Structures are given as structure tokens and as C-alpha cells.
Amino acid sequence: MSANQNQVTLIGLGTIGISMAALHLRDPNSTIHLFDVRSDIEQHILAHLPAFLESVCPGTSVESLISSGRIKIHTTIETACSEATIIQEQGPENVSFKKSLWAQVESIAPPYAHFWSSTSGIPTSEQTADMQDKSRLLVVHPFNPPHIMPLLEIVPSPNTNQDEVDFACTYFRQVSPRHCPVVIKKEICGFVGNRLAFAVLREACYLVEQKVVSVKDLDQIMMSSLGPRWALNGVFESYNSGGGVDGFRGFLNKLEATVQGVWNDLGVMSMTGDDSHWKEYVISQTEQTYGPSSLGQTREKEEKLREVQRIQTSNP
């Protein structure tokens, strides 16, 4: 086996797992081992993976990937992990599940295998609690759908070996030049992308609950201002140009009173208890506005997402 022939084992094949499989399949030299506890695992993969393959290996069927041995479907975690060089989990978001999974994986995987978790929020240092060697695991947090969304937040714990961090970054850059691993220097709730997203989410729910704006108009405001702006320049670059020749410093000086006014006025929001009255109101308005989403709609959005990325990476 040559060094670049990765044996990638994916544990948990729900929303993230299927798309993650498509991302790993971009490496033409790899074998992808799939394991999930669901009893209809093979039917599930045959039904859902094809939609993700179009952009990754066009014209290739899942059946042919299985018969050629590039995809191997396993019914036990032991066989799924036995040859792995990389093991990535995207099972349930549950601390005790992830803790016991990694203790088990450590006992059955080859000693050289790299361990990655796709968790949205359970830090590496909690997941390693029952492991003998806490230096091998790190979080690789994707954004849905990972086969298209470029960002991978690489979040080590203080115990993670630096070589593991470097390996994960190098791997994803090699597998997909469009993907963008970013190392998060400290463990923090929600990492970085979701902290930004959930700060906006909180204020969006507050503004709807206060009847300042409807769900539909809030989304319109986002898509016709901050969305396109932030697709092309991040937060700091945008305000640096917003400040004219004085840059970000000038922006903060000129807008100081308004920025401070908004910060003073940010809504108090909570998921439970007295400050959770907003929830039913905002949820039902969102349901009335959009209804359930369908697979067809999702695929059309994915095509548009790729178009945004083409614009982001094209020369001005």
C-alpha cells in the first residue's frame, strides 16, 4: 500500500455522512469504508449517495464503486476500522456516544489511523475522556453540505499532536483544492462559524418576535445586503473599506454611537424559561412562510451555491 492510498472509514451516514463520503471520494486513490447501525445501510447508500456523486465523480454509479471495491459497506465497526488510515465519525451529537465510540475505535483501529469527529459542538477534549492516547483525535467541523461547502474547522484539544493538525489540513487541501481547512486555536462552544451564525440567529429571532420585521423580510434584508457583501469580503475587510481612507478605525469612529446603541440594545433571548416566549411565534411564522423543504429544492440551491463559489474564486 503506497502512502497516498488512504483507507477512509466513515462512521454514521446521515445528512453529513453521505455528503462527507462524496467529499472523500474526490481522492481517486482512496478506499471508503462505510459503517452505520441502521439495518438498511446498503439501500440507504444506494438511494442517497448518487445525488452527491454528480459533482464528484460524474457518470459513476454507486453500484460500480461498490463492485470495484472503492466503496466498502460494513455491518460491524470492527471490520470497518480494521484497515483504516483515517476514521471520521458523524454519528449522533451525543457526548456519551462519542466518548464510548472513540474508546472502542482506539482499541480496534491500526495504531497509525487518524481520528476525526465532524461534531458541531462537542469539543475534542470531551470526546477523548475515555481514550488511552488523547493525542490522535481532533474535530473536523464541516458546514452542510460538506462536499460543496469549502470550510472545515480543524479544532484540536490541548492534547492533540500538532502532526495530526498538519495532516488533516494537508489531506483536505489535496483531496479538494476548493476546500478550506482553518485551524481554530482554542476550544470554544460552537467553534467560530456557528458562533457568528448563532449571534445573527439570536438577533433575527428577537427582531421577528418584537414585530420589527417579518421572517420573509428579514431573510430578504440578509440576502440583499450582508449575504452578497460577506460572500466577497469578510466582516473585517468589509468594514475596513466601509471606513474609506481611514479604514476600519475610521469606520468605528464614524459609526461609534450607532454601533454602541445597537450593542446596548441587543435582545435578551433564551431557549428555555422566561425568555423563551419568542420560540413558538418565530417557529410557526417560519413554517407558514416556507413550509417543508424538498430534495429537489435542495439540489437547485446546491447548484447556486457552486455558482457563488465560482464567482468568489474568479479573478476580478
Ligand X SMILES: *[C@@H]1O[C@H](CO)[C@@H](O)[C@H](O)[C@H]1NC(C)=O
Ligand Y SMILES: NC(=O)c1ccc[n+]([C@@H]2O[C@H](COP(=O)([O-])OP(=O)(O)OC[C@H]3O[C@@H](n4cnc5c(N)ncnc54)[C@H](O)[C@@H]3O)[C@@H](O)[C@H]2O)c1
- Beta-bridged to residue 153, according to DSSP, are 141, 182
Q: Does 174 bind ligand X (CB under 6 A)?
A: yes
Q: How far is the CB of 97 from ligand X (least distance, A)?
A: 4
Q: Does 170 bind ligand X (CB under 6 A)?
A: no
Which partner, ligand X, ligand Y, none, binds residue 73 by CB below 5 to 8 Å per kind? none
Q: Does 167 bind ligand X (CB under 6 A)?
A: no
| Residue matched to cell numbers 421577528 | 208
**Contact residue for ligand X among 15, 75, 76, 96 (CB under 6 A):** 96
Which partner, ligand X, ligand Y, none, binds residue 96 by CB below 5 to 8 Å per kind? ligand X
Q: How far is the CB of 213 from ligand X (least distance, A)?
A: 35
Which partner, ligand X, ligand Y, none, binds residue 9 by CB below 5 to 8 Å per kind? none
Question: Given the complex with ligand Y, which of 47 and 266 has the nearer CB atom?
Answer: 47
**Contact residue for ligand X among 76, 94, 107, 276 (CB under 6 A):** 94
Question: Given the complex with ligand Y, which of 37 and 232 has the nearer CB atom?
Answer: 37
Which partner, ligand Y, ligand X, none, binds residue 29 by CB below 5 to 8 Å per kind? ligand X
Which of these segments, 21-29, 77-85, 219-227, 258-266, binds ligand X (CB under 6 A)?
21-29
**Over the chain, what HEC string results?**
CCCCCCEEEEECCCHHHHHHHHHHCCCCCCEEEEECCCCCHHHHHHHHCHHHHCCCCCCCCHHHHHHCCCEEEECCHHHHHCCCCEEEECCCCCHHHHHHHHHHHHHHCCCCCEEEECCCCCCHHHHCCCCCCCCCEEEEEECCCCCCCCEEEEECCCCCCHHHHHHHHHHHHHHCCCCEEEECCCCCCCCCHHHHHHHHHHHHHHHHHCCCCCHHHHHHHHHHHHHHHHHHCCHHHHHHHHCHHHHHHHHHHHCHHHHHHHHHHCCCCCCCCHHHCHHHHHHHHHHHHHCCCCHHHHHHHHHHHHHHHHHHHCCC
Question: Given the complex with ligand Y, which of 45 and 282 has the nearer CB atom?
Answer: 45
Q: Does 27 bind ligand X (CB under 6 A)?
A: yes
**Contact residue for ligand X among 46, 60, 82, 97 (CB under 6 A):** 97
Q: How far is the CB of 248 from ligand Y (least distance, A)?
A: 31
- The residues binding ligand Y (CB under 6 A) are 11-17, 36-38, 90-93, 118-120, 141-142, 144
Positions that interact with ligand X (CB under 6 A) = 2, 4, 27-29, 94, 96-97, 100, 174
